[in-house]
Amino acid sequence: MPDAQAVMTALQTVRDPELHRDIVSLDMVRDLSIEGGHVKFELVLTTPACPLRETIEKDVRAALQTVPGIDDLDISWGAEVRGGATREGGPKPVPGVKNVIAVASNKGGVGKSTISTNLAVALAALGAKVGLLDADITGPNIPTMLGIEQGALSEGQGGLHTIEAYGVQAVSIGFVLPKGTPVVWRGPMIGSGVRQLLHDVEWGELDYLIVDLPPGTSDASMSMCQEAEIAGVVIVSTPQVVAVEDAMKAVGMFDRLGVPIFGVVENMASEIFGRGGAKAAAESLGVEFLGEIGLSAPIRQGADAGNPIVAADPTSEEAQAFVRLAEQVAARCSVLRYSGDMAVA
Ligand SMILES: Nc1ncnc2c1ncn2[C@@H]1O[C@H](COP(=O)(O)OP(=O)(O)OP(=O)(O)O)[C@@H](O)[C@H]1O
Ligand SMILES: [Mg+2]
């Protein structure tokens, strides 16, 4: 019969490829049981959207080859997403929400809302608890993109609350405004609108709250950074030089605000708009490149029809690109949460 200590020692040689620490000290190995030659344990990942599950499994199996007496290995998988510690004097935490992730760009129309929606639906499909906050107070698009009727909550007395669509808990000012009602709020009101969406809504327990920001260094973006501890920002850019220039300004802005940048995603890559511009710029600025989403009619149709491509056609190339993006974002979030740890250790 294999020895439990020998099993753990062998597992200690396996490192999480992103976090660069061994899986035992990361507390990823749980409930080890050994009966005869059968070894069983649970591997608890730092996110259900872990892109490296297969690599970890391969490394675990290889490491345990060195332990004598194992006939058969039974690995079950779990995931626990970590949140951050609240900074003293920093923004109030949003109750129940582990990680606030903002999607931003300086330029309008580059696909922030489309990416926020599909990112949220992809993370939920991978097994995470996900919310989506529409911070575009004057031009909310999330109701349409999730197929939720504008003004769905306008008659109710309960006020603004989340509506679930595609496994995502969504909130938008569009839920309480009948279709076609313009929002003509100015700066301070937008700030308080953002604060209410964050803090007055019962979000429940969420691993990730995705925030769809309006374009530019607007009141809503600034308020969001003051009102919530943002785990990281995903910057969206299309490939054209002018769009990339704007995206780089957004990188500079969040940097100055001290908000971590998870990286840049290139959207609408195509013959028409080009491809690779955002990647090159990300590299030259030393920020991560998170992936490329092509220009594609089904993505646009899904957004217009309220049926995001990730849900409408999960096996399509487009949906797979969003899933890879979701995994990259979740991985960056884990790395950030654990690197904070190492700084104290
Ligand atoms: N990869 C893509 N392929 C095809 N169409 C896309 C793609 N990404 C976004 N779109 C379409 O482009 C339009 C603009 O996208 P979206 O509303 O997501 O941009 P945005 O950055 O949120 O805009 P705003 O700055 O106004 O908030 C939408 O009609 C959307 O369906
Ligand atoms: Mg938008």
For 51-65, write each residue's pLDDT tens digit. Answer: 999 999 999 999 999
Location of structure tokens 């998870």: 262
| Atom from ligand 1 closest to the CA of residue 108 | 25
Atom 29 in ligand 1: which residue has the minimum CA distance?
A: 300
Which CATH fold topology does 4-79 show? GMP Synthetase; Chain A, domain 3 (3.30.300)
Atom 16 in ligand 1: which residue has the minimum CA distance?
A: 111
In short, whether 296's Cβ falls inside 6 Å of ligand 1 is: yes
Superfamily of domain 97-344 in the CATH hierarchy:
P-loop containing nucleotide triphosphate hydrolases (3.40.50.300)
| Atom from ligand 1 closest to the CA of residue 110 | 21
pLDDT in the model for residue 220? 83
- Nearest alpha carbon to residue 41 among 4, 68, 80, 1: 4
pLDDT in the model for residue 157? 60
Contact 17, 51 (CB under 8 A): no
Sign of CA dihedral 90, 94, 97, 102: negative
Contact 209, 99 (CB under 8 A): yes
Residues of the chain with CATH 3.30.300.130: 4-79
pLDDT in the model for residue 23? 96
Cα(109) to centroid of ligand 1, in Å? Answer: 5
Does residue 345 register a pLDDT over 60? no
Least confident of 124-128, 191-195, 202-206: 191-195
| Atom from ligand 1 closest to the CA of residue 116 | 18
Atom 23 in ligand 1: which residue has the minimum CA distance?
A: 109
pLDDT in the model for residue 160? 87
Cα(104) to centroid of ligand 1, in Å? Answer: 12
Residues of the chain with CATH 3.40.50.300: 97-344
Q: What is the identity of the amino acid at 35?
A: E
pLDDT in the model for residue 181? 74
Structure tokens, 109: 């129309």
pLDDT in the model for residue 342? 45
In short, whether 268's Cβ falls inside 6 Å of ligand 1 is: yes
Structure tokens, 306: 């309220």
Residue 343's pLDDT band (cuts 50, 70, 90)? very low
Does residue 267 register a pLDDT over 60? yes
CA dihedral 100, 253, 212, 88 (to 10 degrees): 20
Question: CA triplet 277, 279, 280: central angle to 5 degrees?
Answer: 70
In angstroms, the CA 296 to CA 145 distance is 16
Cα(215) to centroid of ligand 2, in Å? Answer: 7
pLDDT in the model for residue 233? 96
φ/ψ of 242, rounded to 5, equals -65, -35
| Atom from ligand 1 closest to the CA of residue 300 | 31
- Look over the chain and give the mean of its residue pLDDT values, rounded to a whole number: 91
Contacts of 24 by beta carbon, 8 Å cutoff, 6+ apart: 8, 11, 12
Cα(69) to centroid of ligand 1, in Å? Answer: 57
Contact 343, 335 (CB under 8 A): no
| Atom from ligand 1 closest to the CA of residue 105 | 21
φ/ψ of 105, rounded to 5, equals -165, 160
In short, whether 300's Cβ falls inside 6 Å of ligand 1 is: yes
In short, whether 111's Cβ falls inside 6 Å of ligand 1 is: yes
Residue 340's pLDDT band (cuts 50, 70, 90)? low
pTM higher than 0.95:
no
Structure tokens, 166: 């595609």
In short, whether 113's Cβ falls inside 6 Å of ligand 1 is: yes
